[in-house]
Structure 1
Amino acid sequence: MTSSISDPLLVDLLAREPLPAVPIRTMDVRYDHDGTTLLGHLAMPGGDGPFPGVLVVHDWFGVGDHVRVRCELLARLGYAAFAADIYGEGVRPATGPEASEVARGFYADLPLLRARAAAGLARLAAEPAVDASRLAAIGYCFGGSTVLQLARSGADLAGVVSFHGGLQVGPPGEAAAITASVLVLTGAADPVVPDSAIVAFQDELRQAPGVEWQIVTYSGAMHAFSVPGTDAPAHGAQFQATAERRSWVAMKDLLAEVLG
């Protein structure tokens, strides 16, 4: 397979995982949620499977090249990876203010956010070559918040990984519904996820002793530290190569553990 990714920063990122002997397969996938057409992206290892599945949820700009690259990387590692479309086909904000407005609409309607994420997970699980008993979810920024909300809904997931996602607490007792191992990867200099949010999130999870979780904080890392090309330090967002590299390794370790 020849990747369609042309951004040199993402091409460099894609080179991190070696090409497998059997080429991976990629395709855009239309699916539906409650009358809304969604357009996701699927990357599959070569061969017949069954493969463990990983749901990938985009940042506030929607499904784009960054999550497509992450899906391709996961496929190189032997996972079937599906980039869910939370917004809907054609909703791809072009600017930060526009993206913020779209994302806020979903944060204000958590049942819809969770339902869109669940629709993506169901589409992944329905893929014939996917082992629906071995599923995990990862997400970036808005997507990191989304996969944590999906876990709170009691979704049948072995693991969830949030890359610089917002940390929301829920009603008393809600966290007990989480069945997944939770890995939160956050930046020590991220204004979107201040220390107070981390403490509140930890305190909530401590009240659910059956949930397995860990939080890793990267020194000097701002919001969106794992997204190549991000360079807005005045707004608290900047790519940091060290945190990006280490967070990817942390994710790989968790997925290997929980998905076998």
Structure 2
Amino acid sequence: MKIPALVPILAVALTLSQGTAAAAIAHKTVTFEHDGVVLEGYLAWDDALDGPRPGVLVVHQWMGLSDNERMRADMLAEMGYVALATDVYGQGVRPADTSEAGQEAGKYYGDRELFRARLAAGLAELRRQPGVDQERIAAIGYCFGGGGVLELARSGADLEGVVSFHGSLDTPMPAEAGAIKGKILVCHGAIDPYVKPEAVHGFLEEMEAVGADYQLIMYSGAVHAFTQKGAGDDPSRGAAYDEKADHRSWRAMQDFLGEIFR
């Protein structure tokens, strides 16, 4: 009498194992150029899938392209997307510490035209990849990259949407009416000391002024860098990993991508 009761369980286990086996996540390094500067990105996709599928650009935090962004690209590939973790700084340019990171990021914060152009180069490289559906492309970014994807949206980039995780929200080049073509999701730490309340309010006013389709989700108790395990676990420092906010924001992104790629 006990054997039949095991049949559904065995069937579920077999289905799960087959689903895992069916996924064949592949990845490679890609190099491309912008204005004579060689950039080095990380491309991930599910090699078991055929036909065009949505593409997602992943923009790094201020330390440059790292295992964090490569991990996110792999996770997106597991969801069925072609993901390119792009490189803003240039091949081999990886800050050794936060002081160097501040200097490198400052070059782009201080020159938003360059920032946007460098991001656009990554977007163009993603579009060149086989299997990318040209009509369904989005961008996500973390910290420095979170601000970056908002700059892409403001620039009028042809994107279905962007997702900013604990990114900067202010800009010296606010969006013009009709410029933003895609939807926007901002995942923000409610007590992030590096993004002041006036920056949040300014962002809301900017988005309302241009009629953008946007969402702002604030995670209670979360400070800056809440998706970055390398940020440590001490929120009193202003930046720390928050497992709950990390998981909630990723689920919010999944729902958002499902909506815009429908």
Q: If the length of structure 2 is used for normalisation, what is the TM-score? A: 0.89
> What do residues 71-111 of structure 1 show as CA deviations (whole Å, max 9, x unaligned)?
00000000000011000001001211110110011100111
41-50 or 198-207: bigger deviation: 41-50
8 Å contact kept, 2:161–2:260: yes
Aligned pair in 2 of structure 1 residues 134, 173: CA closer, same or farther (>3 Å)?
closer
Corresponding residue for 1:104?
106
CA RMSD of aligned residues (A): 1.4
Corresponding residue for 2:15?
none
Corresponding residue for 1:77?
79
Letter in 2 for 1:213: Y
Corresponding residue for 2:32?
31
Paired residues, what number? 242
8 Å contact kept, 1:54–1:136: yes
Aligned pair in 2 of structure 1 residues 186, 173: CA closer, same or farther (>3 Å)?
closer
Corresponding residue for 2:169?
167
Structure 1 unaligned spans of 5+: 1-17
8 Å contact kept, 1:161–1:183: yes
Distance 2:113 2:132 in 1: 26
Largest Rg, 1 or 2: 2
Distance 1:169 1:175 in 2: 15
Letter in 2 for 1:216: I
Letter in 1 for 2:187: L
How far off its partner does 1:48 sit?
2.8
**SS of the residue 1:59 aligns to:** coil
Corresponding residue for 1:126?
128
Letter in 1 for 2:22: A
**SS of the residue 1:176 aligns to:** coil
Structure 2 unaligned spans of 5+: 1-18
Aligned pair in 2 of structure 1 residues 255, 22: CA closer, same or farther (>3 Å)?
same
Q: Are residue 242 (structure 1) and residue 244 (structure 2) matched? A: yes
Corresponding residue for 2:118?
116
Corresponding residue for 2:43?
42
More helix by share: 2
Corresponding residue for 2:218?
217
Corresponding residue for 2:199?
197
8 Å contact kept, 2:157–2:180: yes
Q: If the length of structure 1 is used for normalisation, what is the TM-score? A: 0.90
Among the aligned pairs, what percent are the same residue? 50
Corresponding residue for 2:229?
228
8 Å contact kept, 1:57–1:83: yes
Corresponding residue for 2:67?
65
For residue 185 of structure 1, the aligned residue among 184, 187, 198 is: 187
8 Å contact kept, 1:169–1:200: no
Letter in 2 for 1:237: A
How far off its partner does 1:26 sit?
0.5
**SS of the residue 2:83 aligns to:** strand
Corresponding residue for 2:89?
87
8 Å contact kept, 1:19–1:76: no
How far off its partner does 1:180 sit?
1.1
